[in-house]
């Protein structure tokens, strides 16, 4: 019975609205007070039923909820035979709840769209070799799955057979479908646009990249900042306090009307709902635009950022460096290049990849005793020779003599904005390579936008030589450039800035910069579906799209502002209402409830504006 | 210990959260610290001792408060 009444709340609101209309037409049109009174009594009794049930359920677990206040207030109104107010208040309360539900669903829609993209079923190979449709929860790591054209890839996996094009927009934001063949990785939540593939499941459920993104966003929308936790605690005591206050007023004044009016006016609705609504709308907007914000604490911190520190490679630049200049100090460059390719083949450092690409096909030698010198390079034995490749620091460490000609070349290469890679064999310098990366298109404009949004310092921190870094800084109009920085130097420099009282954001690729990402007030990762980046950072820019950074900053500023407005509206309405009970003649329960419900709708609608936020 | 994630009908009133939280915490065998009622995603997350309590009992406590349960998931911790 209780459940039935609660599930028909919206119908009840409609019926009581009709009864109220009948009552007033009865009185105004036919001067019939009987119809008037009885219609209103039935409207209030009907309307109070679901509210009273909720109040009873709350009291059972010792919570004084808004329903309790309203039920007592309506009871009081009955006591003094003010059926008109009782009917209108219950109707407004129910109708308000209906509108709140509708509008709240809207503010949450952006995130819902995301979670609904999660795959639900999969075609799994059974023991008899046939494929059968199963729930995605029933897929385990190692299962073989069939994905047909138009279907969602159910898990993260590797293609076993078949070929096709996969739309990975849900993971990377990249709209152009990616080609997949045997051995390619595919991700849960992406869509196979054509072809048929069989995959083996590598990661399932919440462990998939898509699962992690969803979990992150879902947790973010409900994460609470300090202000919110304070409001929560406050409202726990606030509602009982209103009850006590109203009771005291009644004791002193013996005025039931006044006491029940206070009960209605004191409802804290807009205050409790205001901040979560802004939060969910702001994070929802971000999710739609490829910016993952990890909660309201992050929003507050980033909206107040003073300094943004950038990693260079892969962030300001495309991250696909190419060998631009070479100089040899040997008569047999081919042999040196072969050794070099053999060593660099084993590394996944971006500079190593550039070198391997530059050298192309060549004879490869076995490599032994490889020693990776952090922030320096690699020392190894190749074909029986001692071999070192790395930067100038490494060469000095290994006591390689750099003659005048070499020093001149180094200076010349650096001036052009090259990263330097020196190669030495058996203690002698053999080759110098200058490797350059291109600046991402549009970065300059994006940085201008950040400045306009109030960021004071834009700093580049890079492991590259100072010359290269200076060149980039000059070209992009950065305020400061620091080269020759190891990951721990970057972190130390960020700590230094923080000690000066600055709020610092660091933006990097998330793999080797995790100390800085963790230390900065806001760690921003350029993520192209890598979960390391998703886990260590506070904000993720999907598809490594730098141009989303200004949107992210503008959005957090708008969201933080929106939260402040909502708190102001909520507190303002309660203060004005309570003050006018004592100071004015016109205030009564119905007006109070109207203002109260209206203020809730206003904060929701205000929050909803964030869904449409765009950086101008 | 088991970890339960319970998806509820859309929550609209913030006082719902307090009610559900208290109702769940009152159950014997629930790890009180772990109870989280998420307003926007309308979910309840909690850890409980499966020797003292079953997921059905937790679900009943929530439905008794008047909230519909859409889906629940239990995983061993």
CA of A232 to nearest chain B CA: how many angstroms apart?
Answer: 9
**Residue A31 reports pLDDT greater than 90:** no
pLDDT > 70 in chain A, percent: 97
Dist. CA A97–CA A596, nearest whole Å: 11
Kindly identify which residue of chain B lies nearest to residue A63, measuring between CA atoms: B19
Domain membership of residue A397 (yes or no) is: yes
CB contact under 8 A, A104 and B43: no
**Does domain B2-76 match CATH 3.20.20.70?**
no
CA of B61 to nearest chain A CA: how many angstroms apart?
Answer: 11
Residues of A with a Cβ under 8 Å from any B Cβ are 2-3, 6, 53-54, 57-58, 61-63, 65-67, 97, 100-101, 104-105, 108, 111, 218-219, 221-222, 235-236, 239, 269, 272-273, 276, 279-280
CB contact under 8 A, B39 and A67: no
Q: What is the pLDDT of residue A529?
A: 47
Query: What residue numbers bound the domain in which A361 lies?
Result: 322-436
**Residue A277 reports pLDDT greater than 80:** yes
Residues of B with a Cβ under 8 Å from any A Cβ are 10, 12-15, 18-19, 22-23, 26, 36, 38-41, 43, 63-66
DSSP A330: S
**pLDDT tens across A110-123, in order?**
777 777 778 888 88
Domain membership of residue A126 (yes or no) is: no
CA of B63 to nearest chain A CA: how many angstroms apart?
Answer: 9
Length reported for chain B = 77
Give the one of A3, A57, A108 whose C-beta lies nearest to B40's C-beta: A108
Domain membership of residue A414 (yes or no) is: yes
CB contact under 8 A, A218 and B38: yes
**C-alpha separations of A566 from A56, A106, A573, B76 in Å:** 30, 17, 11, 41
ipTM of the complex: 0.83
Of A353, A350, A387, the C-alpha closest to A463 is A350
Q: What is the mean pLDDT of chain A?
A: 85
**pLDDT tens across A604-613, in order?**
999 999 999 9
Tokens representing A230 are 């304070």
Dist. CA A371–CA A392, nearest whole Å: 17
Chain B residues with CB inside 8 Å of A101's CB? 10, 12
Tally of structural domains, chain A: 1
DSSP A553: H
Integer Rg of chain B from CA: 11
Domain membership of residue A513 (yes or no) is: no
Residue A70: pLDDT band (50, 70, 90) is confident
Q: What mean pLDDT do residues A82-98 have?
A: 86
Chain B residues with CB inside 8 Å of A2's CB? 66
**Residue A81 reports pLDDT greater than 90:** no
CATH at residue A384: 3.40.1110.10
Dist. CA A80–CA A68, nearest whole Å: 19
Q: Chains A, B: CB contacts under 8 A, how many?
A: 68
Q: Where are the alpha helices (DSSP H) in A147-267?
A: 169-172, 209-222, 226-253, 256-265
Tokens representing A581 are 């009970």
Domain membership of residue A353 (yes or no) is: yes
Per the annotation, the verdict on A311 as an active-site residue is: yes
Note whether A595 and A577 are within 8 A (CB): yes
CA of B44 to nearest chain A CA: how many angstroms apart?
Answer: 11
Domain membership of residue A422 (yes or no) is: yes
Q: What is the pLDDT of residue A172?
A: 65
Q: What mean pLDDT do residues A140-158 have?
A: 89
Note whether A222 and B39 are within 8 A (CB): yes
Give the one of A67, A236, A276 whose C-beta lies nearest to B39's C-beta: A276
Choosing from A156, A311, A470, A545, the catalytic residue is A311
Q: Which residue has the tokens 């100089």?
A: A327
- Range of A306-315, A386-395, A479-488, B57-66 with top mean pLDDT: A386-395
Domain membership of residue A64 (yes or no) is: no
CB contact under 8 A, B15 and A2: no
Dist. CA A58–CA A240, nearest whole Å: 12
CB contact under 8 A, A276 and B14: yes
Domain membership of residue A520 (yes or no) is: no
Strand A156-167 and strand A178-180: the pairing is antiparallel
Q: What is the pLDDT of residue A424?
A: 93
Other CB atoms within a 10 A radius of the CB of residue A333 amount to 14
């Amino acid at each position: 019975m209780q459940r039935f009444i609660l599930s028909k709340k919206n119908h009840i609101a409609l019926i009581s609205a009709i009864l109220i209309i009948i009552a007033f037409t009865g009185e105004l049109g036919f001067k019939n007070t009987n119809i008037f009174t009885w219609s209103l009594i039935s409207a209030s009794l009907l309307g109070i039923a679901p509210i009273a049930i909720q109040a009873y359920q709350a009291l059972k677990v010792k919570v004084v909820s808004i329903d309790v206040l309203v039920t007592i207030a309506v009871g009081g109104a009955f006591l003094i035979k003010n059926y008109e107010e009782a009917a209108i208040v219950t109707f407004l309360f129910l109708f308000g709840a209906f509108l709140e539900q509708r509008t709240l669903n809207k503010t949450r829609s952006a995130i819902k769209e995301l979670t609904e993209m999660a795959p639900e079923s999969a075609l799994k190979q059974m023991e008899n070799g046939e494929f059968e449709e199963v729930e995605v929860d029933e897929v385990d790591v190692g299962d073989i799955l069939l994905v047909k054209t138009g279907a969602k890839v159910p898990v993260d996996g590797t293609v076993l057979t078949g070929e096709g094009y996969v739309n990975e927009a849900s993971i990377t934001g990249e709209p152009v479908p990616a080609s997949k063949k045997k051995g390619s990785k595919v991700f849960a939540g992406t869509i196979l646009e054509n072809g048929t593939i069989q995959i083996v499941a590598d990661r399932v459920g919440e462990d998939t990249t898509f699962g992690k993104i969803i979990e992150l966003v879902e947790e973010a929308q409900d994460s609470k900042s300090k202000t919110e936790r304070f409001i929560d605690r406050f409202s726990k005591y606030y509602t009982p306090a209103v009850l006590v206050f109203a009771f005291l007023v009644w004791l002193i004044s013996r005025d039931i009307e006044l006491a029940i009016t206070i009960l209605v006016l004191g409802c804290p609705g807009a205050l409790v709902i205001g901040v979560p609504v802004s939060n969910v709308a702001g994070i929802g907007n971000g999710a739609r635009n490829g910016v993952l914000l990890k909660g309201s604490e992050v929003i507050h911190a980033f909206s107040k950022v003073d300094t943004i520190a950038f990693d260079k490679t892969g962030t300001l630049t495309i991250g696909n460096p190419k060998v631009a200049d070479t100089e040899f100090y040997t008569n047999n460059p081919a042999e040196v290049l072969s050794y070099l390719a053999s060593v660099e083949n084993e590394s996944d450092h971006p500079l190593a990849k550039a070198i391997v690409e530059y050298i192309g096909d060549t004879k490869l030698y076995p490599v032994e005793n490889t020693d990776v010198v952090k922030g320096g390079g690699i020392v190894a034995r190749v074909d029986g020779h001692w071999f070192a490749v790395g930067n100038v620091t490494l060469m000095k460490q290994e006591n390689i003599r750099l003659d005048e000609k070499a020093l001149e070349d180094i200076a010349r290469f650096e001036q052009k904005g090259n990263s330097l890679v020196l190669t030495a064999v058996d203690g002698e310098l053999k080759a110098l390579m200058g490797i350059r990366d291109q600046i991402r298109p549009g970065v300059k404009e994006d940085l201008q936008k950040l400045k306009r949004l109030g960021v004071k310092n834009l700093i580049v921190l890079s492991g590259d030589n100072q010359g290269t870094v200076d060149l980039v800084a000059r070209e992009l109009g950065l305020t400061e450039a620091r080269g020759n920085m190891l990951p721990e130097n970057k972190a130390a420099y960020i700590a230094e800035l923080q000690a000066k009282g600055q709020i610092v954001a660091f933006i990097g690729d998330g793999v080797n910069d995790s100390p800085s990402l963790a230390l900065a007030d806001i760690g921003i990762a350029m993520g192209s579906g890598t979960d390391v980046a998703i886990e260590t950072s506070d904000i993720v820019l999907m598809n490594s799209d730098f141009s989303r950074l200004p949107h992210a900053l503008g959005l957090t500023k708008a969201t933080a502002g929106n939260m402040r407005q909502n708190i102001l509206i909520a507190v303002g309405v309660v203060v004005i209402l309570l003050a006018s009970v004592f100071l004015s003649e016109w205030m009564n329960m119905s007006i109070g409830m109207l203002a109260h419900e209206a203020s809730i709708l206003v904060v929701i609608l205000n929050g909803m504006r964030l869904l449409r936020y765009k950086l101008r | 210990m088991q970890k339960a994630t319970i998806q509820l009908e859309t929550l609209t009133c913030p006082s719902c959260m307090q009610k559900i939280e208290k109702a769940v915490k009152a159950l014997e065998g629930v790890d009180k610290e772990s109870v989280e009622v998420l307003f926007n995603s309308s979910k309840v997350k909690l850890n409980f001792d499966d020797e003292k309590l079953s997921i059905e009992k937790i679900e009943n406590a929530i439905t008794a408060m008047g909230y519909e349960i859409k889906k629940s998931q239990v995983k061993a911790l």
